[in-house]
Amino acid sequence: MLVGKESFCDFHTIQEAIDVLEQSPSNEMAMLTILSGTYEEEVRIYRSYLHIIGIGQVDIRMHRYAKERDEAGEEIGTFATPTLFLGGSHLILENLTISNTAGQGEAIGQAVAVYAHCDKTVFRNCTFKGHQDTLFTGPLPPAPKERLKFGGIPLKEHHAHYRQLYQHCYMEGTVDFIFGGTTAYFEDCEIHSLRHHKNETSYVTAASTPQGQAYGYVFYRCYLTGEPNMTPVFLGRPWREYAKTVFVDCKMGEHIDPRGWDNWGNPDNETTVCYQEYGGSEADLLRGQRVPWADCFEAGTEAWSKEQVFDGVAFWRSFDRSG
């Protein structure tokens, strides 16, 4: 199927094409091609076995935000804001830019670009743009901290595992702009911190890794960049107490706070989180600067290949039903 603005295209909006694809069998890989252009729409995808590829500059954008009011006058909350929602498995997305253009500030709150409630999913050469909470990698924690329920987009399927691979992607944001509970592997990606609207402290990650899950976030050969003259940025803080995040052979700009990690105002988290760094070029210096409850070692990078992290399930190579 082909989406684009031209008369010869099958559909002129992405959601129209998805609605048709979701009526067909979802155990065979379907292909959706999107021609260059800006698509101002919310896209909701529940289907599995889907390959979406953009040609040229494909920008999918919307501007929902957590402080926005619904028809009853209630705030819609974080998980009703994504520009793109993915709920299935065996998905490939290539050469797409997904943006939440709501901006930032107290009147905006969280504004998600991508809500990846999906398993065995690959993002290649994709760009994720937003500010607070740009990329959410499911699943949700068992319960919210401050509300009765998370709300947001209805979840039609829950997966036994949530495994996602991000290759040669760019993602930007301010506070907790990569957050969630999946096992996510970021390979050769640029992770760019934007200035907070009050130039306050920001955080790259906020993992909520479920207790007992072997891996959380793994950043492998990534590049952490930031805007000039900004308040130092922490590598991560725990959205939930068993957060796991590791940086392997990554290069980090001067915007990263020398302490590295934050306990989210709860010293008890220091005994349960797993925050690690391997293979950094200044490992000896970092060991003396990082918080004492995080690990910083010079060796051991061979244990962090994607084959090891995904335990031999090479879904990025094969999307057959037995994978």
- 């619904």: which residue's tokens? 70
CA 307 to chain centre: 20
Flag the least confident range among 125-129, 258-262, 280-284, 306-310: 280-284
CA Rg, the chain, in Å?
A: 19
Pairing of the two strands 2-3 and 58-62: unpaired
The reported pLDDT for the residue numbered 323 is: 40
Count Cβ atoms below 10 Å from residue 283 Cβ, excluding itself. 14
Where helices occur in the chain by DSSP H, the ranges are 14-21, 283-289, 306-309
Distance CA 77, CA 241 (A): 22
pLDDT per residue as tens digits for the range 22-72: 998 778 899 999 999 999 999 999 999 999 999 999 999 999 999 999 999
- For 221, list phi and psi in degrees, rounded to 5: 55, 45
Cα 184–Cα 289–Cα 250 angle in degrees, nearest 5:
35
Q: Tell me the C-alpha distance between 245 and 207, whole Å.
A: 7
CA distance 267 to 249: 28
Query: How many CA atoms within 13 Å lie on the side-chain side of 213?
Result: 29
CB 162 within 8 A of CB 140: no
Report the distance separating Cα 201 and Cα 267, nearest Å.
Answer: 18
The sheet with strand 163-167 has its strands ordered as 2-3, 30-34, 50-54, 89-94, 119-124, 163-167, 183-187, 217-220, 244-248, 274-278, 295-297
In tens, the pLDDT along 163-191 reads: 999 999 999 999 999 999 999 999 999 99
Average pLDDT, the chain: 94
Q: Is the dihedral of CA 69, 74, 77, 81 positive or negative?
A: negative
Tokens of 200: 């306050």
Give the CATH number of domain 80-309.
2.160.20.10
CB atoms within 10 A of CB 303: 11
Q: Which amino acid is at 137?
A: T
Q: Is residue 319's pLDDT more than 60?
A: no
**What is the rounded CA–CA span in Å between residue 163 and residue 161?**
6
The predicted structure's pLDDT at residue 145 = 84
Residues in the chain: 323
Instruction: Please say if the pLDDT value at position 320 is more than 60.
Output: no
Predicted local confidence at residue 33, as pLDDT: 98
Q: Count of CB atoms within 10 A of residue 318's CB? A: 10
**What pLDDT digit, counting tens, does each position of 89-138 carry?**
999 999 999 999 999 999 999 999 999 999 999 999 999 999 999 999 99
pLDDT band at 281, cuts 50/70/90?
low
Distance CA 9, CA 33 (A): 10
Categorize the per-residue pLDDT at 280 as very low, low, confident or very high, splitting at 50, 70 and 90.
low
Rounded to whole angstroms, the Cα distance separating 305 from 71 reads 48
Domain positions in the chain: 80-309
Rounded CA-CA distance 138/283 in Å is 32
